[in-house]
Amino acid sequence: EAQVTQNPRYLITVTGKKLTVTCSQNMNHEYMSWYRQDPGLGLRQIYYSMNVEVTDKGDVPEGYKVSRKEKRNFPLILESPSPNQTSLYFCASTPGRGRDTQYFGPGTRLTVL
Amino acid sequence: AQSVTQPDIHITVSEGASLELRCNYSYGATPYLFWYVQSPGQGLQLLLKYFSGDTLVQGIKGFEAEFKRSQSSFNLRKPSVHWSDAAEYFCAVGLPGYSTLTFGKGTMLLVSP
């Protein structure tokens, strides 16, 4: 089954404790993205990747890092989480640019205390 | 930069009544246009998309949307709403050659008996 998976689905952590949210897709898509969703703000893009070892900032990259060492995986790293990073995070992948459908993972709800 | 406006934060519709959710975009040319739905606790599912051609597009679950270039709008419609349509709906735009989507802030649809 074609899918985007994220782990963990739920995470509660404390300020400053490094964490990684994993994202994996099995569709051989070149493009992957991370979004955060906050009430009243919709989804905002954090980072995206156009291929292995090629990443770029989205609209809200501060406080986040990503890596793309393999085509299927695109982890999101919070090296020193803060409470304002409490949010719902979605990973997405798409085969191409622009017109192709983005496939979203189920989301990771992160709470930073 | 492109932007997407969904003027209605919440909409309540009676079951069986018709529905129209508004979406306006700001961009110099015609972007790619999408509607996604997010059911409670779920990820995002694509309802329909528009690239070019016929300005009335059909999607899944009985939804349709009409692109109006003169109004920079891409409104979502459904002739008869079902209780299972209660969800949050997001309009999004993508640009040719880019894998990034810009989302509106969403419209929460409530369906009353």
Tens of pLDDT, residue by residue over B33-50, are 999 999 887 889 999 999
What's the confidence (pLDDT) of residue A95? 85
Whether pLDDT at B30 is above 80: no
Q: Can you tell me the distance from the alpha carbon of B5 to that of B110, in angstroms, rounded to the nearest whole number?
A: 19
The one-digit pLDDT tens for each residue of chain A (113 residues) are 889 999 999 999 999 999 999 999 999 999 999 999 998 888 999 999 999 999 999 989 999 999 999 999 999 999 999 999 999 999 999 887 666 788 999 999 999 99
A99·B51 Cβ contact <8 A: yes
CA distances from A69 to A11, A51, A73, A95 (A): 24, 9, 7, 17
% of chain B exceeding 90 in pLDDT:
73
- Residue B100 in this model has a pLDDT that exceeds 80: no
Check whether B13 has a pLDDT greater than 90: yes
- Kindly write down the DSSP assignment for every residue of B8-64, as one continuous string: -SEEEEETTS-EEE--EEE-SS--EEEEEEE-TT--EEEEEEE-SS-SEEE-GGG-E
Report the distance separating Cα B64 and Cα B76, nearest Å: 6
Q: What share of chain A is helix, strand, coil (3-state, %, to 5)?
A: 5, 50, 45
Is A42's CB within 8 Å of B104's CB?
A: yes
Q: Which two tokens stand for residue B54?
A: 């016929």
Assess contact for B104 and B4: CB atoms under 8 A. yes
CB contact under 8 A, A106 and B9: no
**pLDDT tens digits, residue range B68-88?**
999 999 999 999 999 999 999
- For residue A20, the 8-state DSSP code is E
Interface mutation vs chain A, best among B89, B100, B105, B107, most A CBs within 10 Å = B100
Task: Please report the pLDDT score of residue B101 as a whole number.
Answer: 85
- Quick one: pLDDT at residue A98? 65
Question: What is the per-residue pLDDT for A100?
Answer: 76
